[in-house]
Protein backbone atom coordinates (compact mmCIF):
# COMPACT_ATOMS: atom_id res chain seq x y z
CA UNK A 1 0.00 0.00 0.00
CA UNK A 2 2.85 2.34 0.72
CA UNK A 3 4.34 1.51 -2.64
CA UNK A 4 1.13 2.50 -4.27
CA UNK A 5 1.08 5.88 -2.45
CA UNK A 6 4.69 6.51 -3.35
CA UNK A 7 4.03 5.69 -6.99
CA UNK A 8 1.05 7.99 -6.99
CA UNK A 9 3.17 10.72 -5.41
CA UNK A 10 5.82 10.27 -8.04
CA UNK A 11 3.28 10.36 -10.85
CA UNK A 12 1.65 13.48 -9.33
CA UNK A 13 4.21 16.33 -9.32
CA UNK A 14 2.23 18.54 -6.89
CA UNK A 15 2.22 15.86 -4.24
CA UNK A 16 5.93 15.25 -4.79
CA UNK A 17 6.70 18.95 -4.26
CA UNK A 18 4.62 19.00 -1.09
CA UNK A 19 6.42 15.96 0.22
CA UNK A 20 9.82 17.53 -0.53
CA UNK A 21 8.87 20.73 1.16
CA UNK A 22 7.57 18.82 4.18
CA UNK A 23 10.84 16.92 4.45
CA UNK A 24 12.80 20.18 4.06
CA UNK A 25 10.72 21.79 6.81
CA UNK A 26 11.34 18.84 9.10
CA UNK A 27 15.08 19.04 8.44
CA UNK A 28 15.03 22.82 9.05
CA UNK A 29 13.08 22.33 12.28
CA UNK A 30 15.59 19.74 13.45
CA UNK A 31 18.49 22.09 12.63
CA UNK A 32 16.74 24.95 14.43
CA UNK A 33 16.15 22.86 17.53
CA UNK A 34 19.80 21.75 17.48
CA UNK A 35 20.93 25.36 17.16
CA UNK A 36 18.59 26.39 20.01
CA UNK A 37 20.10 23.72 22.25
CA UNK A 38 23.60 24.85 21.34
CA UNK A 39 22.67 28.52 21.97
CA UNK A 40 20.97 27.66 25.25
CA UNK A 41 24.05 25.71 26.32
CA UNK A 42 26.28 28.67 25.45
CA UNK A 43 24.01 31.13 27.30
CA UNK A 44 23.96 28.89 30.35
CA UNK A 45 27.75 28.63 30.27
CA UNK A 46 28.03 32.42 29.97
CA UNK A 47 25.62 32.85 32.89
CA UNK A 48 27.74 30.49 35.02
CA UNK A 49 30.91 32.33 34.01
CA UNK A 50 29.22 35.66 34.63
CA UNK A 51 27.89 34.43 37.97
CA UNK A 52 31.38 33.35 39.01
CA UNK A 53 32.83 36.68 37.94
CA UNK A 54 30.14 38.55 39.93
CA UNK A 55 30.95 36.46 42.99
CA UNK A 56 34.66 37.15 42.54
CA UNK A 57 33.92 40.84 42.08
CA UNK A 58 31.77 40.85 45.22
CA UNK A 59 34.47 39.10 47.24
CA UNK A 60 37.10 41.55 45.96
CA UNK A 61 34.96 44.60 46.79
CA UNK A 62 34.06 43.18 50.20
CA UNK A 63 37.74 42.58 50.93
CA UNK A 64 38.59 46.15 49.90
CA UNK A 65 35.81 47.51 52.10
CA UNK A 66 36.95 45.50 55.13
CA UNK A 67 40.56 46.66 54.68
CA UNK A 68 39.48 50.28 54.29
CA UNK A 69 37.23 50.05 57.34
CA UNK A 70 40.04 48.54 59.43
CA UNK A 71 42.47 51.22 58.23
CA UNK A 72 40.01 53.99 59.13
CA UNK A 73 39.36 52.45 62.54
CA UNK A 74 43.11 52.33 63.23
CA UNK A 75 43.45 55.95 62.09
CA UNK A 76 40.60 57.03 64.39
CA UNK A 77 42.14 55.27 67.40
CA UNK A 78 45.58 56.70 66.66
CA UNK A 79 44.29 60.28 66.33
CA UNK A 80 42.22 59.93 69.50
CA UNK A 81 45.28 58.71 71.39
CA UNK A 82 47.39 61.57 69.99
CA UNK A 83 44.70 64.07 70.99
CA UNK A 84 44.67 62.78 74.58
CA UNK A 85 48.47 62.95 74.71
CA UNK A 86 48.45 66.44 73.24
CA UNK A 87 45.92 67.67 75.80
CA UNK A 88 48.08 66.25 78.57
CA UNK A 89 51.25 67.94 77.35
CA UNK A 90 49.83 71.09 75.70
CA UNK A 91 50.59 73.32 78.66
CA UNK A 92 54.11 71.94 79.14
CA UNK A 93 55.66 74.62 76.87
CA UNK A 94 54.04 77.47 78.80
CA UNK A 95 54.90 75.94 82.15
CA UNK A 96 58.51 75.42 81.09
CA UNK A 97 58.73 79.13 80.20
CA UNK A 98 57.17 80.15 83.54
CA UNK A 99 59.60 78.16 85.70
CA UNK A 100 62.28 80.92 85.54
CA UNK A 101 59.68 83.41 86.84
CA UNK A 102 59.01 81.09 89.75
CA UNK A 103 62.77 80.94 90.40
CA UNK A 104 62.89 84.77 90.39
CA UNK A 105 60.06 84.95 92.92
CA UNK A 106 61.83 82.49 95.22
CA UNK A 107 65.04 84.55 95.04
CA UNK A 108 63.08 87.75 95.68
CA UNK A 109 61.40 86.26 98.74
CA UNK A 110 64.75 85.07 100.11
CA UNK A 111 66.33 88.49 99.45
CA UNK A 112 63.36 90.39 100.96
CA UNK A 113 63.85 88.68 104.33
CA UNK A 114 67.11 90.58 104.88
CA UNK A 115 66.55 93.61 102.61
CA UNK A 116 66.89 97.06 104.16
CA UNK A 117 66.08 99.17 101.10
CA UNK A 118 62.51 99.21 99.88
CA UNK A 119 63.45 100.66 96.48
CA UNK A 120 65.49 97.57 95.53
CA UNK A 121 62.54 95.33 96.54
CA UNK A 122 60.17 97.37 94.37
CA UNK A 123 62.60 97.24 91.46
CA UNK A 124 62.97 93.44 91.81
CA UNK A 125 59.22 92.89 91.74
CA UNK A 126 58.91 95.24 88.75
CA UNK A 127 61.52 93.17 86.86
CA UNK A 128 59.76 89.90 87.69
CA UNK A 129 56.42 91.36 86.55
CA UNK A 130 57.93 92.53 83.26
CA UNK A 131 59.50 89.13 82.61
CA UNK A 132 56.23 87.33 83.37
CA UNK A 133 54.24 89.68 81.13
CA UNK A 134 56.68 89.24 78.23
CA UNK A 135 56.42 85.44 78.47
CA UNK A 136 52.61 85.57 78.37
CA UNK A 137 52.63 88.02 75.44
CA UNK A 138 55.03 85.77 73.53
CA UNK A 139 52.42 82.98 73.88
CA UNK A 140 49.75 85.21 72.30
CA UNK A 141 48.09 86.58 75.45
CA UNK A 142 47.37 90.29 75.49
CA UNK A 143 45.28 92.52 77.79
CA UNK A 144 42.19 94.39 76.58
CA UNK A 145 42.19 98.17 76.68
CA UNK A 146 38.59 98.75 77.68
CA UNK A 147 38.55 102.13 79.39
CA UNK A 148 36.77 104.76 77.26
CA UNK A 149 35.67 102.16 74.69
CA UNK A 150 32.01 101.50 73.81
CA UNK A 151 30.51 98.61 75.76
CA UNK A 152 30.60 95.32 73.79
CA UNK A 153 28.85 92.32 75.36
CA UNK A 154 31.15 89.95 73.42
CA UNK A 155 34.22 91.39 75.15
CA UNK A 156 32.97 92.95 78.38
CA UNK A 157 30.91 91.99 81.38
CA UNK A 158 29.09 94.93 82.96
CA UNK A 159 29.08 94.69 86.74
CA UNK A 160 27.65 98.17 87.36
CA UNK A 161 25.96 101.09 85.58
CA UNK A 162 26.56 104.60 86.86
CA UNK A 163 25.49 107.99 85.58
CA UNK A 164 28.00 109.17 82.99
CA UNK A 165 30.10 112.14 84.10
CA UNK A 166 29.73 113.64 80.60
CA UNK A 167 27.52 113.05 77.55
CA UNK A 168 30.35 111.61 75.48
CA UNK A 169 30.82 108.75 78.02
CA UNK A 170 27.22 107.48 77.78
CA UNK A 171 27.27 103.79 76.76
CA UNK A 172 31.04 103.70 77.22
CA UNK A 173 33.24 102.04 79.80
CA UNK A 174 34.17 104.34 82.65
CA UNK A 175 36.29 101.96 84.74
CA UNK A 176 38.02 98.57 84.45
CA UNK A 177 37.36 96.55 87.63
CA UNK A 178 39.13 93.47 86.25
CA UNK A 179 41.15 93.37 83.03
CA UNK A 180 40.06 91.16 80.19
CA UNK A 181 42.50 89.09 78.12
CA UNK A 182 42.64 87.85 74.54
CA UNK A 183 44.56 84.79 73.42
CA UNK A 184 45.27 85.04 69.69
CA UNK A 185 42.28 87.39 69.25
CA UNK A 186 39.92 85.07 71.16
CA UNK A 187 38.51 86.10 74.54
CA UNK A 188 40.01 84.10 77.40
CA UNK A 189 38.62 86.28 80.16
CA UNK A 190 35.92 88.93 79.83
CA UNK A 191 36.72 92.35 81.21
CA UNK A 192 34.59 93.30 84.23
CA UNK A 193 33.65 96.92 83.68
CA UNK A 194 31.57 99.84 84.90
CA UNK A 195 29.42 101.39 82.17
CA UNK A 196 28.18 105.00 82.03
CA UNK A 197 24.48 105.72 81.45
> Residues 44-65: pLDDT tens digits?
666 666 667 888 889 999 999 9
> Considering the entire predicted model, what is its pTM?
0.54
User: Which H or E run includes 23?
Assistant: helix 13-89
Taking the CB of residue 4, how many other CB atoms lie within 10 A of it? Answer: 8
Kindly list the domain boundaries of the chain, sorted by start residue.
Answer: 2-89, 91-139, 141-197
Residues (pLDDT < 50) of the chain are: 1-13, 15-19, 23, 31, 33-38
What is the spatial distance between Cα 62 and Cα 66, in angstroms, rounded to a whole number? 6
- CB contact at 8 A, 97 and 139: yes
43 burial type by CB count under 10 A (0-12 exposed, 13-18 middle, 19+ buried): exposed
CATH 3.40.50.2020 fits domain 141-197: no
Tell me the pLDDT tens digit for each residue of 73-105.
999 999 999 998 888 777 788 888 889 999 999
Q: Which of 184, 127, 175, 179 is nearest to 155 (CA)?
A: 179
Q: What is the DSSP letter of 66?
A: H
What is the spatial distance between Cα 154 and Cα 160, in angstroms, rounded to a whole number? 17
> Residues with Cβ < 8 Å from 160, sequence gap 6 or more?
194, 195
Amino acid sequence: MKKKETEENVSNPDVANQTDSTVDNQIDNENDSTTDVEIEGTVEEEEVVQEISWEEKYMEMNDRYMRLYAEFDNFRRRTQKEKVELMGTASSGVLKDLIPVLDDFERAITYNETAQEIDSVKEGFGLIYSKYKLILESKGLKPMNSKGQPFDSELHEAIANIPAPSDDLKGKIIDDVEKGYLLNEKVVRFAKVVVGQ
